[in-house]
Amino acid sequence: MKQWTDEQVEQAVGKLLRIGVLVAACVAAVGGVAYLLRHGSAPVAYHAFNGEPQSLRTVRGVVDSAFALNSLGVIQLGLLLLIATPIARVALSLIGFFRQKDGKYVVITAIVLAILAFSLAGGRL
């Protein structure tokens, strides 16, 4: 297995961030245009807080409604991809530290990744 230097990891991270933002922005833009074409003339009210429907709150619900071609679901999928980009960055660093056999930093990075996973998936809070 070839060893990864810090520089190589950083190069890969930079590329990942660019691609992630680009893809996320494109998906959200496509969803946004579809949303405005379909519902553009409907009145909107954001001054009252109602909370989003359950289908737009969970990873699974968002993916399902995006594949059902619900325009809001497609936008939300783009936003989810954007949220996933920094998480993927941390995961990539984890692989990098693992290949460098840097135990201390494997643990540190794993803690960060666990906190991020908890935020998206876990807990009753």
Partner 1 sequence: MSAFELSALILLGAFLAGLLGALTGLGGGMVIVPLLAVGFGVDIRYAIGASLISVIATSSGAAAAYVREGYSNIRLGMVLEIATTTGALVGAFVAGLVSTRLIAVVFAAVLLHSAYLSSRPRVEHVSHDLSDRWALWLRLHSTYPTAQGPEPYGVLRVPLGFGLMFIAGVLSGLLGIGSGAVKVLAMDHAMRLPFKVSTTTSNFMIGVTAAASAGVYLRRGYIDPGLSFSVMLGVLGGALVGARLLPVVHARWLRILFALVVVGLAIEMVYKAVSGRI
Point out which residues bind partner 1 (CB under 8 A): 6-7, 9-11, 13-15, 17-18, 20-21, 24-25, 28-29, 31-32, 35-36, 39-44, 46-49, 51-53, 56-58, 72-73, 75-76, 78-80, 82-87, 89-90, 93, 104-105, 108-109, 111-112, 115-116, 118-121, 125
The C-alpha atoms of residue 38 and residue 117 are separated, in whole angstroms, by: 34
Choose between 95 and 112: whose C-beta lies nearer to partner 1: 112
DSSP label at 56?
G
Torsion angles phi and psi, residue 41, rounded to 5: -90, -5
* CB of residue 2 to partner 1, shortest distance in Å: 19
The C-alpha atoms of residue 70 and residue 67 are separated, in whole angstroms, by: 7
The C-alpha atoms of residue 86 and residue 39 are separated, in whole angstroms, by: 32
Choose between 2 and 46: whose C-beta lies nearer to partner 1: 46
Choose between 53 and 69: whose C-beta lies nearer to partner 1: 53
Choose between 2 and 104: whose C-beta lies nearer to partner 1: 104
The C-alpha atoms of residue 27 and residue 34 are separated, in whole angstroms, by: 11
* CB of residue 99 to partner 1, shortest distance in Å: 14
* CB of residue 77 to partner 1, shortest distance in Å: 9
